[in-house]
Chain A
């Protein structure tokens, strides 16, 4: 984040200059307002993909076996939140949809020579809401440097504690209805977020350096659109069932359908996240204990 921090400062200077030139100074230059417009400012960039030679990937995430029962969340300590739920809120570790598909799977292009080195425009801010003492969405994808607007709609104390390993995290508090802006400068699948005040609140953010990411929805569907034709490795990540990958060929003007299948027996899968950082490898001094 600090690498980014420097950029941010640079960008705000640009932004300020623009404001002065345009003659609409005096605006609120608070952090969130400042940097989200800055992001769009800094990225007036063409999408490098030619739509006429592009295709799409769409598909769904199937689930086999019986859906594990999720624990109900005890929100009795937070009446404001409890009141926001018409049915008892459940942990979202495994959400199997009515049609037997799996929600909250992060699906993204892991490799693809066709997009290697391409610079994509940074999309506008993504929203992560805290509403009823749950994160909405529970799993989300963003691009590197894309602003994430973290909103507190509950008006009671949440803290947002991000603990990535590929980059610096943050741990910030939101005691009131308010918004904070954050971003991640390095690709990382996934960055875990948690609220320490409400131990059940967790979220995962997938950070990639292209727009080809999606999260399976309430009917298990996902889609990756406008990819240059070529072969891709597409990976699906789930917080409980781990990852799996497929090689997918995208043709111009076509839509390739794929299905990922997770099953209840994968419950002990290794979930790649926060992989331990290699201890540094400075030259070894002969043991002198």
Chain B
């Protein structure tokens, strides 16, 4: 966001007409800052209908309703100034709402807080909303987490969030926010996308206050009515925290395919014990918004990848959250709503038909010389890519190749890759297995010790995704562990890290350019 920055802003100040004196100085600063930085999404009048609003879900907040997700105050109460400042500083991770802490000055942010309040007639009625007394966290132990799990079941968080917290509860498909837009029940295994913060205190606060404007209710009245104790509610918060990894996954550029010891059996199924020994690598995915039809509401925002090989064959396990196995009639309303409301409507009608969930793993067709890799969007004629395609409505995986978007072709015969996929508890787990070397010259050979570029495409059919409308990652690396591995493991990644990070920025840069092009 910072790149729209300084110059234009300074210019706009210089060009401002006289006669602003009528406004309070703060309100003036608030309005100027708002119009420049916020109005394209939230609308000049604060009603959430800025020119870019149609490109995002959840939609930008309508400030006239004064309904704020993240507060320290009771459900239905207004947020404190501090709450608003927090929202501006931190943004809402996992949504289009950016974090502004590094972009705006303290004075601008303070002025914005006051300015946001002028959009609603409620604020003048309650100058000083009172925060709830939230106390401090109880200690955490395995017993506490087990207690929390019990409560999670008893008070039925799973109705919306699903048994394992992946946003796949029975009610998830019908949830709508206060403005009538479909809203996903948060995936509790990805706490880095929580609007209000990832820590146990943040979770507990969300439970006490509810997320106003969304279906997420408060659980304070349950305490007030004496049907649950505060300790039990803290236990729920601890349990929810335990669903996500201890540390937010960093961007790791390399998936290490572990070399199995002599005699150990290669896992070819998702439920193989052997996977538990291997640490997963998290790979973020973003909406495909480079070629038309573009997609701004990707369901799959990341995949976990594990790999192992035995010198002859390799298995790659990819798992990701997806609330259902598409197509599923329970989700058909969700799908039709999402496809109806998401801008830009570039897809032809037939592309909106019932569609399966899909995953494509992409490799270069030939190992590149040096660091040069194929264009991350399915390569080009100079540097083609080699693909594995899995679909939820098919038992087999297909190998294919592409020289750019739309040129994908899949081999009818002589498949060397096999696949096993399963959906349960809001998660897909898909295992691909292939010999390291094949006789097909269009198949990439997997050589141990080489950093093999690898990237991912994913689609949730019932979220309206198919064709170009899905999500994708930038290039990562698959590294097959060598028999004398330790040195190899350490050395190449340093060079790769740099290159990989560049890949990520390329995706980002293209996205930014696209975002700006629809703004103007």
Residues on A close to B: CB < 8 A? 1-3, 5, 30-32, 77, 156-157, 159-161, 163, 165, 168-176, 178-180, 196-199, 276-280, 282-283, 285-286, 288-289
Selected contact of A285 from candidates B31, B176, B225, B226, CB within 8 Å = B31
Shortest CB-to-CB span from B5 to chain A, Å, is 15
In the complex, which of the residues A31, A170, A172, A196 contacts B175, with contact meaning CB atoms closer than 8 Å?
A: A196
CA distance in complex: A157, B217 (Å): 11
Q: List 9 A-B contacts (CB under 8 A).
A: A5-B74, A31-B221, A157-B159, A163-B178, A171-B216, A172-B75, A176-B227, A277-B64, A288-B16
Give the docked Cα–Cα distance between A8 and B454 (Å). Answer: 62
Chain B nearest CB from A262 CB (Å) reads 25
When C-beta atoms are compared, the residue in chain B nearest to A3 turns out to be: B125
Q: Does B76 contact A (CB under 8 A)?
A: yes
The residue from B27, B76, B224 contacting A30, defined by CB atoms under 8 A apart: B224
Determine the main DSSP class of B at the interface with A. Answer: loop
Contacts of A288 in B (CB 8 A): 12, 15-17, 32, 35
Q: Which of B116-124, B342-350, B413-421 contacts A (4 or more CB under 8 A)?
A: B116-124
With a cutoff of 8 Å between Cβ atoms, the chain A residues found around residue B214 in the complex are: 171
Shortest CB distance A163–B (Å): 5
A88 CA to B34 CA, complexed, in Å: 52
Q: Is there contact, CB below 8 Å, between B225 and A30? A: yes
Could you give, for residues 96-129 of chain B, a 1 whenever the CB lies within 8 Å of some chain A CB and a 0 otherwise?
0000000000000000000000111110011001
Q: Are B171 and A197 in contact, CB atoms less than 8 angstroms apart?
A: yes
- Does B380 sit at the interface, judged by CB under 8 A? no
Does B126 lie within 8 Å of A171, measured CB to CB?
no
Residues in B lying within 8 Å of A, measured CB to CB: 12, 15-17, 19-20, 22-23, 27-28, 31-32, 35, 43, 45-47, 64-67, 74-78, 118-122, 125-126, 129, 154-156, 159-160, 170-171, 174-176, 178, 210, 212, 214-222, 224-228
Contact with A157, one of B156, B178, B212, B228 (Cβ below 8 angstroms): B156
- In the assembled complex, which residues on chain A have CB atoms less than 8 Å from the CB atom of B35? 285, 288-289
Q: How far is the CB of A234 from chain B (nearest CB, A)?
A: 29
Among B64, B176, B217, B225, the residue within 8 A (CB) of A171 is B217
Q: Judging by beta carbons under 8 Å apart, are A280 and B32 in contact?
A: no
Given A157-B156, A171-B218, A277-B121, do A2 and B45 touch, yes or no (CB 8 Å)? no
Question: Which residues in B have their C-beta under 8 angstroms from that of A197?
Answer: 156, 159-160, 171
Contacts of A282 in B (CB 8 A): 23, 27, 31, 118
Q: Chain A contacts of B78 at CB under 8 A? A: 2, 168
Cβ-defined partner of B225 (8 Å) among A31, A165, A283: A31
CB of B64 within 8 A of CB of A199, answer no
